[in-house]
Amino acid sequence: MISKAKRYARMILLMLSLLSLSGCWSRNEVEDLAMLTGGAIDYSSEKGQEKYVGQWLIISPPSSSNSDGGASSSKSADLVYKGEAKTFMESITDLNKQLPRLQTSSHVIFTIYGENLAKTATAKVAENLLRFPESRPNQLLFVTKGNAGSFLQAKPVLVSNLFKQIKKQEEIALRTGVSRGVTLLEFCQWLLSPDRDPVLPQIKWNNGNQSNSLLIEGFGVFRSDKLIGWLDKDESTGYLFLTQDLKDGIMPFKFGYGSQMITYHVGASKHKIKAKWVNGKPVFRITIQTLGAIPETANFQITTKDVSKIEAAAAESVRVKALKSISKAREYDSDFLGLMQHLHRYEPLAWKEVETDWRKAFRQAEIEVEVQAKIVTEWALTQSFDLKD
Amino acid sequence: MLLFIVMTSTAILFIPGLTATTGKQNAWLVSLGAGISSFGVLIISAKLAQRFPGLTIAEYLPLIVGKIGGKALAVSYILFFTVLNILVVRETSEFLTVSALFGTPGIPINLVFVLICWYSAQKGIEVIARMNQFILPLFVFAYLMACILAIPKADPSSLLPILEDGISPVMQNIWIPVQWYGEIAVLLMLIPLMNKPQEALKKASYAVISTMLLLTFGSLAVLTVLGADVAGQMIFPIWFTVKTIEYGNYIQRIELLVLPLWLTGIMVKSSLLFYVTILAARQSVSRKHPKLITASVMVIVFSGATFLVPNTMALLEFLATYWPSVSLLFEVVLPLLLLAITLIRKKKGGCMQ
């Protein structure tokens, strides 16, 4: 009898364990999901009424994109859907009304903030994105002038989907020194840190009108959680040199040499910040080292004697951009360069003195930039063209 | 080995978040310091056990403080282990509902979890130990893999400045992780079951040291990858840290590979707690109805884990504010008192093996 009872108990246990094998409670098969791959969120508030408009890219499943029988369908595989509501969460679930599948945000690659949203409700939306268990910490954030929605209509070029294009373009933007991708995690780190202001890369249309080509160029600068201004191309390059160690760069810098303009092609750079506390204000000494080539010499013959002269001129051209970026930081009163963060980390005693009013300390800070540009090659030619009259 | 997994499995989920909230970039020092101070707990438990070889705490309590007081204390210890177990189960289901099984109500998770652990606890200590032998390498592997893969994402300078506000905030926060380390107090019940009780102190200190190293390593990974500011906002920072791991299109979304291994670790812990509770209950309350006792322990833990805590916010508040003092009472203060009493009264007892 006992053995029988035991056997029953075992059977029941086994059956119960089957419960856990059948999968999770609220499981969804892949066929029932609509994968969001990117989004653009706009925000407006009129008469105290907030409105979030989220437009989301949904990757269309292969079966429907091949419905016309050929693999060579010219249609984009992306579908754009729009959700509107008074809160952000509601605007996302608003999508579901229009779709036969449940949307999931676990594959979101990028999110674009509209200008209004970035000026007013950045922190709210960023917190929501981070709070949602499905969201990925590595999704990219962008900001744009005006409304963000239209960017999702862009036709991807050379790749099949818009999210692929944006992801690749962001990598290239870093190499060419015009912008760089900022992940949700990084943005939240900056947002929450007591000593640094965030930036987000700017996405825009070529020539300003809604043509076919997307640009990722420049940055939107935040002060705390409010968008307050923009960095143009030169200032963005300066920002990248001041905050990042770059490699595999393809960044051209033009500068005058003699009567001609020539180009310094930067391949790699390193930066070093030294913070000091002198006479009640912080002094930052930033050294940037660059390695590069002179591929365009305007038919000069460069000799070893000239190199140091050209290097100095090239360094100046890099320095000018860095200084532009710093003066923008002062203008916006936003320390997106992370200088005060550096002070906090390496000179904690000095930070203690300015902690309560660190923005004032940043305004008073002395910032010196020194650039050491090195020219290592002039590429494949040893002799410049020596033309006959 | 058993002790190691007891301490690490749930601690790694909660400690980085709880300590980073207040300790900021020095949270890793907090886990390191707590590890060192938990040696105190270990030594107390081991000394106490040496005085009464072959007896568990439920058995020698009456010998120290008399029959009635001993029974009362033993019952309170049983309650302590039960509540600890309730918390473990609840933490697990919280973690699962936030991470993988989003949307699943806690009841089925708790039920399945409790049933499995309870079943293995019934099979005795040896089964749990063997289970642990199998799971531990996987657990450590998953854990280290997660941390090591996250290293390229790490920014060591986010640990600076070290000890910004001096050592005192670190010292104030040490008592939060100490409760997890203090779970080594299950030794009070386990030492008599060891093959070589004399070596208990040595073996257990290995466990404490390895736990300390692993937890500190984990805290470091969390702090360098997420930064103290973000980590302090999170409920399970280590989960989020693993989510950041992404290498091209190949190695990404590995959190679901790591998750089951963590879960099995917690399972061992819960089984052990079940075992300890049941053992203590049998020894001190009644030897007559073993089946009734084990069944009621299961029901209590399950219903406690499901219905006692209304929501995540309450659980976290309880863990951070009330639980430390309660657990420290049972893990440090009471054993210390008992040890003092035995030393003064020069009591010795138990069967010499």
The verdict on whether omega for the bond into residue B161 sits within 30 degrees of 0, i.e. cis, is yes
Q: What is the residue whose two structure tokens read 């029974």?
A: B71
**Contact list, A351 vs chain B (CB under 8 Å):** 161, 164
Task: Report the C-alpha gap between A183 and A200 in whole angstroms.
Answer: 9
Q: What is the residue whose two structure tokens read 């779970």?
A: B183
- In terms of Cα–Cα distance, which of A252, A261, A285 is closest to A369? A285
Domain assignment of residue B108, given as a range: 2-345
In a domain, B171, yes or no: yes
**Contact list, A194 vs chain B (CB under 8 Å):** 229
**Contact list, A17 vs chain B (CB under 8 Å):** 112, 116
Task: Report the C-alpha gap between B120 and B293 in whole angstroms.
Answer: 16
Task: Report the C-alpha gap between A266 and A175 in whole angstroms.
Answer: 10
Q: Tell me the pTM.
A: 0.84
Residues of B with CB under 8 A from a CB of A: 98-105, 108, 111-112, 115-116, 119, 157-158, 160-161, 164, 226-227, 229-230, 233, 240, 243-244, 246
* A255 confidence band (pLDDT: 50, 70, 90): confident
Q: Are B35 and B208 in contact (CB under 8 A)?
A: yes
- Check residue A69 and give its pLDDT: 46
* B42 confidence band (pLDDT: 50, 70, 90): confident
* A71 confidence band (pLDDT: 50, 70, 90): very low
> Highest mean pLDDT: which of B155-164, B193-202, B311-320?
B311-320
Task: Report the C-alpha gap between B118 and A74 in whole angstroms.
Answer: 59
Q: Do B98 and A16 touch (CB under 8 A)?
A: no
Residue of B nearest to A13 (CA): B115
Q: Are A60 and A77 in contact (CB under 8 A)?
A: yes
Q: What is the residue whose two structure tokens read 């291994």?
A: B261
Residue B89 main-chain phi, psi, to 5 deg: -65, -40
For range B47-74, the mean pLDDT: 77
For range A266-291, the mean pLDDT: 89
Residues of chain B with pLDDT > 90, as a percent, come to: 0
For range B178-204, the mean pLDDT: 72
Q: What are A317-320's contacts with CB under 8 Å, separation 24+?
A: A317/A253, A317/A254, A317/A255, A317/A264, A318/A241, A318/A253, A318/A264, A318/A266, A318/A288, A318/A290, A318/A371, A318/A373, A319/A288, A319/A369, A319/A370, A319/A371, A320/A234
- Given a cut of 70, whether residue A156 has pLDDT beyond it is yes
For range A98-109, the mean pLDDT: 83
CA distance B35 to chain A (A): 26
Residues of A with CB under 8 A from a CB of B: 13, 16-17, 19-20, 24-26, 130, 133-134, 136-138, 185, 188-189, 192-194, 344-346, 348, 351-352
- Given a cut of 70, whether residue B223 has pLDDT beyond it is yes
Nearest to A346 among B105, B160, B229 (CB): B160
Count the Cβ atoms, other than its own, within 10 Å of residue A236.
26
In a domain, B11, yes or no: yes
pLDDT tens digits, one per residue of A187-207: 999 998 888 899 999 998 887
Task: Tally the domains of chain B.
Answer: 1
Which two tokens mark B64?
A: 């120290």
- In terms of Cα–Cα distance, which of A260, A214, A253, A248 is closest to A233? A253
CA distance A264 to chain B (A): 31
Could you give the residue range(s) of every CATH 3.30.300.210 domain in chain A? 234-389
Nearest to A348 among B111, B164, B246 (CB): B164
Disruptive mutation site among B115, B165, B245, B264 for chain A (greatest number of A CBs within 10 Å): B115
In a domain, B352, yes or no: no
Which two tokens mark A211?
A: 């043509």
* A263 confidence band (pLDDT: 50, 70, 90): confident
For range B244-272, the mean pLDDT: 77
In a domain, B353, yes or no: no
The DSSP bridge pattern shows strands A33-46 and A49-59 to be antiparallel
Q: Do B102 and A133 touch (CB under 8 A)?
A: yes
**Contact list, A189 vs chain B (CB under 8 Å):** 226-227, 229-230
Count the Cβ atoms, other than its own, within 10 Å of residue B294.
19
Residue B133 belongs to a domain with what CATH number? Answer: 1.20.1740.10
Q: Are B98 and B91 in contact (CB under 8 A)?
A: no
CA distance B147 to chain A (A): 16
Which two tokens mark A204?
A: 């825009």
Q: Are B32 and B211 in contact (CB under 8 A)?
A: no
- In terms of Cα–Cα distance, which of A308, A325, A377, A297 is closest to A177? A325
* B17 confidence band (pLDDT: 50, 70, 90): low
pLDDT tens digits, one per residue of A4-58: 888 888 888 777 766 655 555 566 677 778 888 888 999 988 888 888 988 888 8
Residue of A nearest to B157 (CA): A345
Q: Do B229 and A192 touch (CB under 8 A)?
A: yes
User: What string of DSSP letters covers A236-262?
Assistant: HHHHHHHH--B-S--EEEEEEETTEEE
Q: Do B104 and A351 touch (CB under 8 A)?
A: no
Residue A94 DSSP one-character state: G
Helices (H), chain A: 2-21, 62-65, 88-93, 115-120, 122-131, 162-175, 184-192, 233-243, 304-332, 339-346, 348-354, 358-364
Q: Do A25 and B104 touch (CB under 8 A)?
A: yes
| A228 burial level (CB within 10 Å; 0-12, 13-18, 19+) | middle
Q: What is the residue whose two structure tokens read 């089984």?
A: B271
Q: Which fold has domain A234-389?
A: GMP Synthetase; Chain A, domain 3 (3.30.300)
Q: Do B160 and A189 touch (CB under 8 A)?
A: no
Residues of chain A with pLDDT > 70, as a percent, come to: 91
Which two tokens mark A205?
A: 């249309």
Residue of B nearest to A127 (CA): B233
- In terms of Cα–Cα distance, which of B182, B186, B189, B352 is closest to B282? B189
Which two tokens mark A150?
A: 């239209």
Residue A79's beta-bridge partner residues? A58
Residue A264's beta-bridge partner residues? A253
Q: Do B161 and A26 touch (CB under 8 A)?
A: no
* A78 confidence band (pLDDT: 50, 70, 90): confident
Task: Report the C-alpha gap between A101 and A83 in whole angstroms.
Answer: 15
In three-state form (DSSP H/G/I as H, E/B as E, the rest C), the secondary structure along chain B is CHHHHHHHHHHHHHHHHHHHHHHHHHHHHHHHHHHHHHHHHHHHHHHHHHHCCCCCHHHHHHHHHCHHHHHHHHHHHHHHHHHHHHHHHHHHHHHHHHCCCCCCCHHHHHHHHHHHHHHHHHCCHHHHHHHHHHHHHHHHHHHHHHHHHHHHHCCHHHHCCCCCCCCHHHHHHCHHHHHHHHHHHHHHHHHHHCCCHHHHHHHHHHHHHHHHHHHHHHHHHHHHHHCHHHHCCCCCHHHHHHHHCEECCCEECCHHHHHHHHHHHHHHHHHHHHHHHHHHHHHHCCCCCHHHHHHHHHHHHHHHHHHHCCCHHHHHHHHHHHHHHHHHHHHHHHHHHHHHHHHHHCCCCCCCC
For range A268-275, the mean pLDDT: 90
> Highest mean pLDDT: which of A69-78, A345-354, B49-58?
A345-354
